[in-house]
Each structure stands twice: as structure tokens, then as C-alpha cells.
Amino acid sequence: MLATTTLKGLDFDEALALIDGGAAFVDLRPVDEYLDVHIPGSLSLQYESGPGLAGRARDCLPLALPLIVLDLGDGDAVRAAAALRGKGFTVAGGVDDGLNRWAAAQSLASTETVRSLVAPVGGTILDLGDKGARRESADIHIPLERLWDDTEDLADRDGIVIAAGYGVRAALAVGILERAGIQKIAFWKGRL
């Protein structure tokens, strides 16, 4: 079966109704731009040609999650949607200028990037790395591939510091944690 190579344009209000029904925005921008400012609960899947974007999504997100691609000028939204469909996701469509449209009505999120695990950040250090790369200094270890299903273990924490290197896979955790209602999130650049 061939993947669809079109992307239905969604009106922003139509996209919001789908979000209210459980869909998720997919942000294709580079990690630094996403961390600087993003729609709360949007999922960072930095655009790249090849299987990386769709593979990350397939490894870390439930196939039943409907996706809406934010066309923010980074990457190829049509190809990203086709790649996601090719992995079995339902892509409801795409939204042009969704970040600014969201900002006109609601607050945007920004994720603090820290270089030290010492206060003032505080919170629980969450290691998202593979089990073989487990870091003993982390408070909790949940492989990123299991985070979607295991966020209830983190709900009562006074903030989360994501410690999993600095890359596209770890940035996806920000949106997953925000969707679970965790509001205080920091992204650590460094080594444990």
C-alpha cells in the first residue's frame, strides 16, 4: 500500500477541535527552536529525510494517537505526514502558522535548558536512555519508548529534569510529559 503524499489543510479551529478530542500537534522544527517556544503538549519530531522521524514516532507514541502536522516552515510537512502514515499513524492534516495562531489565544510553552543538575532547577532527574546505558545518578529510569505509558509514576513530582543527552529523541519527552500534566520541565545538556 502506498502512503498518501498529500496533506489536508486544516483550519486552526478545526485543528483545535481535534486536539480537544485527543489528537496531538507534531512540531517539525529543530530541537533548540522547539525548546525555546512551542505549543504545550505538542510533540517534537524534528524533520529529517529518511526513516528517523517516523521511526521515533513509531517507537515512542501510540499508533491510535491522531496527529496534526504544524507547518512552521521547517522540513517538508507533506513528506513528514507520508512517513508517519507509512508507519501506521493517522495524520488528520496540517496547520499553517499554528504557533502564531495558538499564541494569539493561549500561552506558549518554553522549556528551560540547564547545564547543571544542581539547584535552582531541583526536581526529579529522569533518565530516558536505553537500559544498557542506565545512569546511576538519575532518580528514575524510564526508557523513552515506555514514557507514554509510564507518566503516572511522575505526576506527583515537583518538576522533572530530562537527562538523556541532547537530541531529537529526548526532546520528544517534553511534549509527552506536558500532555501528562507535568508543568515544570527542564532539559539538561551534559553527561551524568
Q: What is the reported pLDDT for 191?
A: 55
Q: What is the reported pLDDT for 154?
A: 87
Q: What is the reported pLDDT for 170?
A: 82
C-alpha cell at 140: 528514575
Q: What is the reported pLDDT for 37?
A: 95
CA distance linking residue 177 with residue 116, whole number of Å: 21
Cα angle value 55/56/59 (rounded, 5°): 85
Q: What is the reported pLDDT for 190?
A: 64
Please choose, from the candidates 192, 184, 147, 191, the residue with its C-alpha nearest in 3D space to the C-alpha of residue 169.
147
CA distance linking residue 131 with residue 144, whole number of Å: 10
Q: What is the reported pLDDT for 78?
A: 92
CA distance linking residue 62 with residue 59, whole number of Å: 8
This prediction has a pTM of 0.89
Domains and CATH numbers, the chain: 12-105 (3.40.250.10), 112-188 (3.40.250.10)
Residue ranges of the alpha helices (H) in the chain? 12-20, 31-36, 52-60, 77-86, 98-105, 144-150, 168-179
Cβ(143)–Cβ(128) below 8 Å: yes
Q: For the purposes of burial, counting CB atoms within 10 Å of the CB of 183, is it exposed (0-12), middle (13-18) or buried (19 or more)?
A: exposed
Residue-level pLDDT, tens digit, the chain, 192 residues: 454 468 999 999 999 999 999 999 999 999 889 999 999 999 999 888 777 889 999 999 999 999 999 987 777 899 999 999 999 999 999 999 899 999 998 999 998 887 766 544 568 888 887 666 656 677 888 889 999 999 987 888 888 988 866 577 788 999 999 999 998 998 887 654
